[in-house]
A and B are shown apart, each in its own frame.
Chain A
């Protein structure tokens, strides 16, 4: 028995029920199309949100944490060395937020080929002055060029050029929320008071929007030098080293290593942001579940039409068997029918899915959180297409398998005797 003839018979049966076949195929088409566009859209959103976060987050942070010393005096006393000493309410000694030997650390980091880049940072507490009112604020002194390179700083700055932080003396980029509160416009001079009580005036050269309004309400950016000046510290004063790695997944291990090496606190991204992955994977699972349910529903459509077809084509099945087609041949014919509906529907669905994705991609999406994006994000990954098509084919195979088995067990004697 040649496959060609199996196809020919399957096709003839399909055509004899062309309308129902079309409806069943359209069921598959739409399931696949929805599956693809839904997942593409979800993944687009996921990547966008992840991007917000990943682009801005150092993989490892080096800093001096404020905490009590691990070596308390009693531990050093040889009299009590054999004892287990209980100490309560220990307070840290005066905290030095400064990192020692910044230069040599940065040198070491830059020569480590697992490290993509390093940006140092100084943070200062300050108040924004608005007449008599003082607003709480945090001023970040940043290594402007590195910050732009590693953390896409420029994406979040508008109405101004971030490089001007370096070029113009005493310049500041205000958080959008801060600017709104103190009514600052570009090129205004604003007053700030440091926690030491000193007043400075800084020139506004742009605004910053991180996508998180709470952050934008307190944070502002200045150059490293400006920030050091605010704090009255020398230019070697750094209290945060931000590291971006080539391979983000190594962060926890490398953080531990640096902690040992530099005798400093190191924090990796995975530990501090454990909740971050959960959201993405929940969205992905939900999309897959919806898509698969759609495909299973489409599978029932095919199951239905094949059952109908078998009742209608009892005569055909009987004569095929009487003239020498085996049960296996009959089964093949009906599975072929089912797979044709499935494959045809699925391939059409892939095209329609691409079309839907294209439409979603055109819908305007203006988020203050994502200044660079003006339509909904869509991921066109080939994997969604192949998953949808293969799952559709598998579903239709099973949807066809049971009716096909039924067809193959039709007793031709019963049919022929009935006439």
Chain B
């Protein structure tokens, strides 16, 4: 299992043309295996978020090739990419992006509505189990705008997990959180790796956080300059 590839980037280049041509990603190639916990660090503006958007198929304006679950997603149609995101990728952003009009439980269920893989009851059950795992099952019926920042981020993680994705992609998931909540989120990630065999890719500024991941990719100026691993 460990050596199966979840995501592979092959020589990805990307440039912005506004206001002048600016090469933001240069020849990015790497793989993430199943069950691997990888972090990306680097100075502000070096292109981490931009890379994550490309890897998550949200941004299709790049050259090179991207494979998710051994299938090329480069040049796929918009609605096919939407399905790939829905089924294989879970997202956690620095900002939680919960829908204020929905309860916590329905927010978690939202990506499940699209995939249609489970019945409404099963989906609700799964969502509740996830909330339990993250220790916030008491909030299930609360409206999303009535819970704290740390709780919101945990709800966002539950939402990212609902369709049982192959890989979880996170952009500064702890950027808005205090030390205690950061600790909680990290424990959750570790647990997901161990008990669900997920791959996790986290972009972070937090060196302490990065040090605890299995592998850290360091970027500078649009390139990968180092990739170091620790095993625990």
Residue positions of A touching B, CB distance < 8 A: 1-2, 5, 8-9, 12-13, 15-16, 315-316, 318-329, 412-413, 416-417, 419
- The verdict on A12 contacting B102 (CB below 8 Å), with A2-B113, A413-B53, A417-B49 known, is yes
A residues near B91, Cβ cutoff 8 Å? 322-323
Instruction: For residue A30, give the distance in angstroms from its CB to the closest CB of chain B.
Output: 28
Contact check, A316 vs B113: say whether CB atoms are below 8 A apart.
no
Task: List 9 additional A-B contacts (Cβ < 8 Å) besides A12-B101, A324-B87, A326-B78.
Answer: A1-B116, A2-B116, A5-B114, A8-B106, A16-B100, A324-B83, A327-B78, A413-B58, A417-B53
Q: Is the CB of A323 within 8 A of B111?
A: yes
CA–CA, A327 to B60, complex, Å? 15
Which chain B residues numbered 124 to 142 have a C-beta less than 8 Å away from chain A?
A: none
A-B Cβ contacts below 8 A, count: 76
User: CB within 8 A of A323: which of B85, B101, B106?
Assistant: B85
- Identity of the chain A residue whose Cβ is nearest the Cβ of B107 in the assembled complex: A319
Contact: B101 with A13, CB < 8 Å? Answer: yes
Complex Cα spacing A194 to B79, Å: 93
Chain A residues positioned under 8 Å from B79 (CB to CB): 326-328
CA distance A325 to B82 in the complex (A): 6
B94 with A419: CB separation less than 8 A: yes
Say whether B99 faces chain A, with CB atoms less than 8 Å apart: yes
Q: Is the CB of A324 within 8 A of B99?
A: no
Contacts of A326 in B (CB 8 A): 78-79, 82-83
Contact A322:B85 (CB < 8 A) given known A1-B114, A417-B49 = yes
Instruction: Indicate whether A315 sits within 8 Å of B101 (C-beta atoms), given known contacts A5-B113, A324-B114.
Output: no
The listed residue (B58, B87, B94) touching A322 by CB distance below 8 A is: B58
Q: How large is the interface on B (under 10, 10 to 19, 20 to 34, 35 or more residues)?
A: 20 to 34
A194 to B177 CA separation, bound complex (whole angstroms): 112
**Interface contact B102-A318, CB-CB below 8 Å:** no
Contact for B114 among A12, A15, A323, A416, CB less than 8 A: A323
Q: 5 pairs across A/B with beta carbons < 8 Å?
A: A316-B99, A324-B163, A413-B53, A416-B95, A419-B95
Decide yes or no whether B97 CB sits under 8 A from chain A.
yes
Question: Quick one: closest A residue to B87, CB to CB?
Answer: A324
Cβ contacts under 8 Å, A318 to chain B:
97
Query: A-B pairs with the 7 shortest C-beta distances?
Result: A324-B86, A12-B101, A5-B113, A326-B82, A319-B97, A419-B95, A326-B79
| Chain B residue contacts of A319, Cβ below 8 A | 97, 99
CB pair A321–B113 under 8 Å, yes or no, is: no
Within B83-121, which residues are at the interface with A (CB < 8 Å)?
83-87, 89, 91, 93-95, 97, 99-102, 106, 110-111, 113-116
**Cα A328 to Cα B82 with chains together (Å):** 10
Bound state CA distance, A419 and B95, in angstroms? Answer: 7
- Cα distance A15–B100 when bound, in Å? 11
B106: which A residues are within 8 A, CB to CB?
Answer: 8
List B contacts of A417 (CB < 8 A): 49, 53
**CB-based contact A323/B58 at 8 Å:** no
Indicate the member of A2, A322, A417 with the most B CB atoms within 10 Å.
A322
Chain B residue at minimum C-beta to C-beta distance from A412: B58
**Complex CA–CA separation, A329 to B95 (angstroms):** 23
